[in-house]
Structure 1
Amino acid sequence: MGNLLIYLLFGSSQIDSSMYPFNKKQTPKRHVSMLLENFILQASNLVTNLIFENMTSLTSLVNFLSKYKLCSSSYLSARSAATLLNNLMLQNLVYLYIKQPRDIYSSRYKILLIHQTGLQMKYIYTCRSADIRKLSSGKCIFISFLEIQDLLIPKLEKNLLILCKILLYIFINIIGSSIIFIIRIILSSLNSKL
């Protein structure tokens, strides 16, 4: 959001040149429009989140949804409202402790765009080294797990592939030898009868 305000107020000359993978003097117009579109969607998400947090009970949430016709009448029950709030809370937790640290560590920023088929999620590259320093210790632990995963999974995949090839080779040789052995037994029994 900060970069969008800088673009809108001061133009691209005030943007840190290491922030994006293009020359700041030749900032694509589509880039700024995507940031603006994302800002509008994120602001609407924030407003919705604040409205839901200020609801004092499930009944008031159901009444709010009903009054403004924000959902189908088949979903206007306390149970549906509780499920909605629980899903939103779970999504926020997953975002805060898993997706956000991963995106910061990967130097990318998730943006939402309005598309003719609905909302579309895209990632843009941006330098986020300052954000890494601001992460809590729990989020840093998650980043450590990502680093361990990046280190171990390719080696595990390679070793598992070698093991599968060995097992397949052994299995094919056992089956091949067994088939040849059975054919020889059948042929020898046929020869002895003749």
Structure 2
Amino acid sequence: MITYWATTRGTYLNNQVSNLFKKIYIKLNFNLHNKTSNILAIDIVGSRVKQELFKIILLELEILILDITELDINVSDMEVLNKKILIDLINKSLLNFRQIFKLSNVSISVARLRSLVSYRRIASEHNLLLKNLLIYLVFGSSGDTTQTYLFPNNKVPVQHVEILLDNLIIQLADLIFYCLINSDSSILVLFRFLKTNKICRNTYVSARSIATFKNNLTWSNYLSYYFQRPRIIYNNRYRVWIFSTKGLHCQYIYAHRENDLEILSNFHIVIIVLLELQDFVLPKIQTIFLLIGKVLIYLVRYCITNSLKIVLKSIAIVTRNK
């Protein structure tokens, strides 16, 4: 039986929010290893550090919800302030994480932070990442008038809100550690602080292994931002990360993203045009190759059949002459 999210503010919505956060805290005791082929920045740290970082983000989100309720911010204000709220949530979570693990020796400038690919991607997807989730948690499903996910009559499944919350926590945690890995410090300083604070997994035992991980992570993020992201937007999809008993997984859900096409760069538009050409040209090429293959098979069979006939006739003639 499908359970739907509360439509308006009230005791029922408060209980659902409370139960949802309790469920997420329980999930943090599950396997937190990445079970996908996609590289995450938090893959370099152990489960204890991941768990602590997830808890920090959850706590900051709870405080944010209380502040929004206390300040009596409406849905219109949320739409205007959403990006600023997201950036503030990231900065506070990052600050608390650095204070808890005493990471003051690793500096991150604002300019450096904004130049990171992961930061730009999350900033460009702030509505999908945070706005809809906050509206569900604070105002109920009736507050969402964007029709981003096209649920009929405000019947938003509880599981959908849970997926959005999972996704926010994992993506913010990944961004925070991506910021730490791509700080202004050298690889040697990064290696020392990871080992000194005992937050690095045992598989990364040298500066070289950490440098390799950093390079692979950077390359993966560039591929995701410049090549995969246009395809996902063009297909009206949104990739979300979720907790499961077996580890961290990602999946794609439908999302109305036509407006995101307007903010894509010229390079992204070129990628979309190439996708269009691919969709148009590839079927034709496949048809041509299939036709050529059939012709070649027919010619080969024809040659083999005629050759066999000639050989059999020759054998028959030789036999008669003997």
TM-score > 0.5 by shorter chain: yes
Aligned ranges for residues 32-71 of structure 1 at < 5 Å? Answer: 32-54=161-183, 56-66=185-195, 67-71=197-201
Q: What is aligned with 1:4?
A: 133
> Are positions 1:134 and 2:134 aligned together?
no
Structure with max Cα Rg:
1
Give TM-score, length-normalised by structure 1.
0.92
1:111-126 matched pairs, under 5 angstroms: 111-126=240-255
Equivalence for 1:97:
226
Deviates more, 1:82-91 or 1:51-60: 51-60
Gaps of 5+ in 2: 1-128
Task: Within 5 Å, give how 1:171-182 maps onto structure 2.
Answer: 171-182=300-311
The share of aligned pairs that are identical, in percent, is 35
Q: Report the CA distance between 1:11 and its aligned residue.
A: 1.4
Bigger relative CO (Cα 8 Å, ≥ 6 apart): 2
Q: Could you give the per-residue CA deviations for residues 107-131 of structure 1, whole angstroms, max 9, x where no partner exists?
A: 0000111223322221000100111
TM-aligned CA deviation for residue 21 of structure 1: 3.4
RMSD: 1.5
**1:157 alignment partner in structure 2:** 286
SS in 2 for 1:123: strand
Bigger drift between 111-120 and 43-52 goes to 111-120
Deviation, 1:97, is 0.4
Runs of 4+ deviating beyond 6 Å: none
Aligned pairs, number: 192
Q: Which residue of 1 aligns with 2:236?
A: 107
> What is the CA–CA distance in structure 2 between the aligned matches of 1:142 and 1:161, rounded to whole Å?
27
Using the size of structure 2 for normalisation, the TM-score is 0.57
For structure 1, which runs of at least 5 residues remain unmatched after alignment?
A: none
Counterpart secondary structure, 2:249: strand
CA deviations on 1:137-158 (whole Å, 9 max, x unpaired) are 1111111111111111111111
CA drift of 1:69 comes to 4.2
